[in-house]
Amino acid sequence: MPLPILYSLRNCPYAMRARIAIFKAQQQISLREVVLSNKPTEMLMASAKGTVPVLVLGDELAPSLVIEESLEIMLWALAKNDPDDLLYKRAPSALPNMLKLIAQFDEEFKACLNAYKCAKRYRENNITGCRQACEVYIQNLENRLATTAQQPFIMSAQESLADIALLPFIRQFAKVERQWYLQSPYPKVRQWLNHYLQSAMFTKVMTKHALWLKNSEQKLTGQ
């Protein structure tokens, strides 16, 4: 059986969280690093949407399944193996709450974050307002993280799907106005983010690979 193929882009937050889940689930895949300005024909044949991540299962020419959304890839990987119980299987009612929070950040926070990044890039005069729109969601995380005394995670004292799904987007937020962020009133968010950015896991999933060429697969293996 051929390995699943993941079309990925190193710094794309959606591809990043798919790779993190695959790593956490200890799944082995064939990683194809691409650039969206020169999309491989094979990727477009699998998924006409033309964005990453895309996971192709089975025979590449006649795949048994193509998963085109990052969250669905995460759920696929963790359904295969979830050694850290990121899906909180011990508490079945928790997963809907995680998915609701992730959807809020994907649909609402991401729009605010895009506006914030654009305001910084183009030196617009509304950057403070754009940042404050993001801060509504960052304060939500700060409040959640503050409820746990030790190493806190978003849902509880235990890491969850929500942590690894939101991580790439909070990382982007932290980079927009770096000096402001370092002095911002969100110490728990900074601690949480640093826990990930300084981890061996993050180093592994952010390894820089050469662009994919035919017959030059890279393999990504979990813990």
When the candidates are 1.10.10.10, 3.40.30.10, 2.60.120.10, 3.40.50.300, the CATH number that belongs to 5-85+202-220 is: 3.40.30.10
Judged by DSSP in three states, 185 sits in coil
Distance CA 156, CA 170 (A): 18
Could you tell me the fold of the domain covering 94-199?
Glutathione S-transferase Yfyf (Class Pi); Chain A, domain 2 (1.20.1050)
Range name among 37-51, 52-66, 202-216 with the lowest pLDDT average? 202-216
Instruction: Measure CA 210 to chain center.
Output: 21
> Strand order in 63-67's β-sheet?
63-67, 54-58, 5-8, 29-33, 218-220
Task: Find residue 33's DSSP bridge partners.
Answer: 8
Q: What is the pLDDT of residues 10-30, one digit of tens each?
A: 999 999 999 999 999 999 999
Rounded mean pLDDT, 160-167: 98
Domain ranges of the chain: 5-85+202-220, 94-199
Average pLDDT, the chain: 94
Rounded mean pLDDT, 48-55: 97
Q: What is the pLDDT of residues 114-157, one digit of tens each?
A: 999 999 999 999 999 999 999 999 999 999 999 866 668 999 99
pLDDT at 145: 94
Total number of residues shown for the chain? 223
**Do 218 and 3 meet the contact criterion of CB atoms below 8 Å apart?**
no
φ, ψ of residue 60 in degrees (nearest 5): -60, -35
Tell me the pairing of strands 218-220 and 29-33.
antiparallel
Q: What is the pLDDT of residues 78-103, one digit of tens each?
A: 999 999 999 999 898 899 999 999 99
How many CA atoms are closer than 13 Å to the CA of 143, on its beta-carbon side? 6
| Band of pLDDT at residue 1, cut at 50, 70 and 90 | confident
Answer whether 0.85 is exceeded by the pTM: yes
Distance CA 147, CA 17 (A): 25
